[in-house]
């Protein structure tokens, strides 16, 4: 009863996170195109007070690079949240070990890993820009996602083994 409630609550939470990340990605995209083609002052408030005007004024290519990383990461995170929502929709506590859940958890771990890798590249790219005297206050969160990917991958392996054991158990007469 308690577990079912927690699962439902987490499902609602992940829906909120998914929608929030979709809005964030959309806002970043709109802000990016507005800054590039309509008004460069848009870089001053890219999203929720994120100021990229200094970078834009310093070098437009750097601005495009940083904004692209932000948009890519936000889109990847939104898709990751979507996968988690899908997992919660199909998750059956009575029969948790099935092929679908196992493959979905594996996919989540791969996406978390790719977010971590993209975040590391973004961090290094930002570091290179900062060496030229520009301050970038963005937490890319690479370490968290790599750690998350590792843990989820281990859970995916456990699930795969669980599916094998369950299949074997079902075929034991």
Partner 1 sequence: MPIVVNLDVMMAKRKMSLNELSEKVGLTLSNLSILKTGKAKAVRFSTLETICEVLECQPGDILEYVE
Residues of this chain that interact with partner 1 (CB under 8 A) are 167-168, 171-173
If the CB atoms of residues 38 and 173 are measured against partner 1, the closer one turns out to be 173
Would you state the structure tokens that stand for residue 134, as one six-digit string? 């520009």
Cβ contact 134:63 at 8 Å: no
If the CB atoms of residues 99 and 143 are measured against partner 1, the closer one turns out to be 99
Distance CA 72, CA 37 (A): 20
If the CB atoms of residues 135 and 172 are measured against partner 1, the closer one turns out to be 172
Torsion, Cα of 145, 151, 156, 162 (10° steps): -160
Is the Cα torsion angle 133, 135, 136, 137 positive or negative in sign? positive
Cβ contact 62:126 at 8 Å: no
If the CB atoms of residues 41 and 164 are measured against partner 1, the closer one turns out to be 164
Least distance to partner 1 from the beta carbon of 172, Å?
4
Least distance to partner 1 from the beta carbon of 166, Å?
11
Residue 37 CB burial class (10 angstroms; 0-12, 13-18, ≥19): exposed
Cβ contact 141:70 at 8 Å: no
Least distance to partner 1 from the beta carbon of 165, Å?
11
If the CB atoms of residues 98 and 166 are measured against partner 1, the closer one turns out to be 166
């Amino acid at each position: 009863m308690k577990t079912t409630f927690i699962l439902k609550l987490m499902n609602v939470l992940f829906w909120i996170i998914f929608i929030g990340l979709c809005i964030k990605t959309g806002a970043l995209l709109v802000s990016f195109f507005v800054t590039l083609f309509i008004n460069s002052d848009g870089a001053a408030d890219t999203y929720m007070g994120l100021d990229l005007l200094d970078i834009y004024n310093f070098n437009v290519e750097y601005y495009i690079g940083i904004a692209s990383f932000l948009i890519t990461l936000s889109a990847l995170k939104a898709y990751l949240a979507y996968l988690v929502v899908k997992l919660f929709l199909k998750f059956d506590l009575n029969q948790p070990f099935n092929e679908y859940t196992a493959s979905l958890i594996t996919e989540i771990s791969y996406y978390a890993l790719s977010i971590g890798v993209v975040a590391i590249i973004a961090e290094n790219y930002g570091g290179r820009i900062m060496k030229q005297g520009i301050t970038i206050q963005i937490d890319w969160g690479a370490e968290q996602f790599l750690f998350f990917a590792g843990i989820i991958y281990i859970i995916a392996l456990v699930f795969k083994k669980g599916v094998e054991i369950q299949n074997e158990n079902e075929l034991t007469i």
